[in-house]
Structure 1
Amino acid sequence: MPTARERLTIRGNLGADSFLPWVARHAARLGLDGEIRHADAERVDIDVRGPADLIDAMEMGCLLGPIDVWVDAIERSSDPEWR
């Protein structure tokens, strides 16, 4: 399967302490390499690398995510600068 690299910019009410660990666990369960680039109560940027179908699953999981956050939107951009 070809590998894709994308940045997911998640916006909403993301201030719950559980959200960032949940994002990291979800990416790991999907077998994605991920790195959180920015995080605050309203926006989280995460760079992910892996099969495109699994990145789609990551986006869907974040939309449905933990009950203590509210995701308004997820923007995706291809080929973020990977460090």
Structure 2
Amino acid sequence: MASAAFDCSQSSPSTKTVRVMIKGRVQGVFYRDWTVENASQLGLNGWVRNRRDGSVEALFSGKPDLVDEMEQRCRRGPPHAMVTALQVFPCNDDPGSGFQRKPTA
């Protein structure tokens, strides 16, 4: 189990935060709910939201290897999604605590 991912007893200087833009058939296929479930499972902080242009945007923050794992999962997405492009940008935004769905931007 990845129980260590939920250990918040000490802050780590090795936290990675990225903003991810996912394009393709990613709306109407439960992509956001799938993202919340997977990011929460990995113990990541951040958020996910639809964009008016049809893409999905997310912010992931946590241990670098877990953020990398989430990036790989996003390349596949849920069963009915078809990801055609995934862009990852280093980010300094505050991810907040926990992982949540945000309104469309």
- Identity of aligned pairs, percent? 27
Whether 1:66 and 2:78 are equivalent positions in the alignment is yes
Find the counterpart in structure 2 of residue 33 from structure 1. Answer: 45
Match of 2:62 among 41, 47, 50: 50
Aligned to 1:10, what secondary structure does the other structure show? strand
CA deviations 1:49-69 (Å, max 9, x no partner) are 101111111011111221111
Contact 1:24 1:34 in 2 (8 A): no
Structure with larger Rg? 2
What is the Cα deviation at residue 80 of structure 1?
4.1
Please, what TM-score do these two structures have when normalized by structure 1? Answer: 0.85
Structure with the greater relative contact order (CA < 8 A, sep ≥ 6): 1 or 2? 1
Query: 2:23 matched to which residue of 1?
Result: 11
| Distance (whole Å) between structure 1 residues aligned to residue 82 and residue 55 of structure 2 | 11
Would you tell me which structure has more strand in proportion to its own residues? 1
Q: Partner letter of residue 58 of structure 2?
A: I
| Partner SS state of residue 68, structure 1 | coil
Alpha carbons of structure 1 residues 12 and 22: separation in structure 2 relative to 1, 3 Å: same
Q: Structure 2 regions of 5+ residues with no counterpart?
A: 1-11, 96-105
Please list the CA deviations of residues 2-55 of structure 1 after superposition, one character each: whole Å capped at 9, or x if unmatched.
Answer: 11111011111112241110011000011101212x414731111111011111
RMSD between superposed Cα atoms in Å: 1.8
Which structure 1 residue ranges, 5 or more long, are not aligned?
none
Task: Provide TM-score, normalisation by structure 2.
Answer: 0.69
